[in-house]
Amino acid sequence: MAGLAWMVGAPGISHADDPLLRPIKPADAAEWITPQAPLHIYGNTYLVGFGALNVALIRTSAGLILIDGAVPQGVRAIEANIRRLGFRIADVKLILNTEPHFDHASGIAALARDSGATVIASAAAAAVLRSGQAAPDDPQVAWGVAYPGVRRVRAVADGTPIRLGDTIVTAHLTAGHTPGSMSWTWRSCEGGRCLDTVFASSLNPIAGPGYRYTGHPEEADAFRRSFATLRALPCNILLTPHPGQSDGDVKARKLAVSRIPNPFIDDKACRIYAETYAALFEKRLADEKAGRAK
């Protein structure tokens, strides 16, 4: 498509006029995209998202990397936060995705258009991002919401290192919440101290009506492998798609008051995250077997 609706910042163009910025499920999204100032986590790592929806930014010597893109109605706020840090949206060279659900991916098409960045995801997630339609094997397909598809997506495999300038981000397949969920790791250095940073995919074993993990043993096995992966990762700093999944909301409030000690530095965070959701997953399986799962 062409025309004024595709012009970034064109006068008189509203979200409703721009097909990539039309709000998706505004009532639900409003709970997630509460305004939040950009937050410097550590070294080259920042958050440029919202009170209940994380979007991470990594500064490299050759440009910026974003992780996730929230919802279309949040895109302008993400771009404003990038500018508040002294960067430009054109500095974004890569956009990585943890999962192709609309709350983390439906803003990616607009962010990719505005920046010219390359979008990267797992093979399963890439197919969903291109189509904007939930995959039939997604445990939450019953709640699937269509969103603007991303024209060009690069698919990468588990363990793939992605280099931009002086930074390497590694992909870790952590399927379960969605078949293509991916976690991302990199090193953040500050004052001569380098820490292993993890933006983990969601491990929430929620599922739509009628879906039973007990009826999909391959998905259950994938979830268990993902728990093991997160437990084993070198991890000094953990970020999650929804900050509340890892007490990130509490940590952000503390960090805004004082950086010493930095509340995000926690060598046990990934293990606790994995073990918490592994226990919830086993409870869900027990509920399914007992007929208690909805």
pLDDT below 50 — which residues of the chain? 1-13
Return the residue matching tokens 């793939």.
Answer: 160
Question: Closest Cα partner for 203 from 270, 122, 265, 250?
Answer: 270
* pLDDT at res. 9: 34
pLDDT for 212 = 96
pLDDT tens-digit readout, 137-178? 999 999 999 999 999 999 999 999 999 999 999 999 999 999
For residue range 14-27, what is the model confidence (pLDDT) as tens digits? 566 899 999 999 99
- Name every residue whose Cβ is closer than 8 Å to that of residue 238 and which is 6 or more positions away in sequence: 198, 200, 246, 248, 264, 266, 269, 270, 273
Three-state SS for 249-282 is HHHHHHHHHCCCCCCCECCCHHHHHHHHHHHHHH
Q: What pLDDT, on the 0 to 100 scale, is given for residue 20? A: 98
Contact 165, 123 (CB under 8 A): no
* CA separation for the pair 20, 148 (Å, rounded): 6
Taking alpha carbons only, the member of 80, 77, 72 closest to residue 110 is 72
Q: Are strands 237-239 and 161-164 parallel, antiparallel or unpaired?
A: unpaired
Q: What is the pLDDT of residue 3?
A: 25
- pLDDT for 294 equals 74
- The pLDDT of residue 4 is 24
**Predicted local distance difference test score (pLDDT) of residue 136:** 96
